[in-house]
Amino acid sequence: MDKPDRKALLEGLRAELRERIQRYEDHRHRISGVLDKDLEDQATQAQNDEVVDGLEEEATEELAQVERALARINAQLGERCEKCGDPIEAGRLEALPYTTRCKNCVAS
Ligand SMILES: [Zn+2]
């Protein structure tokens, strides 16, 4: 079986996340420019803003984790747990390409 190119996969994921975060930023800036809305619209808008903020936060965290995994791959440590130094299970790397910890260390 061919080993999946984890680095390429993570780089793709990083590009995707950056684009997503950019879209959330655009959304926020557009909203702050709109002032002449009635109250009901503002309430809906505020709700949307909360959703978008949550999504942006999630994407930002995910991006940080992807960057961390890429940095470790570049340092030739991509397949080792950042905590205990043991190899990370292959199945785990496949399922979660951005992970930097082995199964045992994730919970702690
Ligand atoms: Zn570990």
**Per-residue confidence of the chain (108 residues) as pLDDT tens digits?**
455 589 999 999 999 999 999 999 988 887 665 555 566 777 787 888 888 999 999 999 999 999 999 999 999 999 999 999 999 999 999 999 999 999 999 875
Give distance in angstroms: CA of 91 to centre of ligand 1: 15
Give the separation between CA 51 and CA 49, rounded to whole angstroms.
5
Instruction: Give the C-alpha distances (Å, rounded to integers) separating 11 from 45, 54, 67, 68, 108.
Output: 33, 23, 9, 12, 27
* Domain definitions of the chain by residue range: 6-78
How far does the centroid of ligand 1 lie from the alpha carbon of residue 17, in Å? 26
pLDDT digits (tens, 9 = 90+) for 9-24: 999 999 999 999 999 9
The Å distance, Cα 80 to ligand 1 centre, comes to 8
- Whole-angstrom CA distances from 66 to 6, 29, 49 are 11, 26, 25
State pLDDT tens for residues 31-43: 665 555 566 777 7
Question: Cα of 67 to ligand 1 centre, how many Å?
Answer: 19
**pLDDT score at 1:** 44
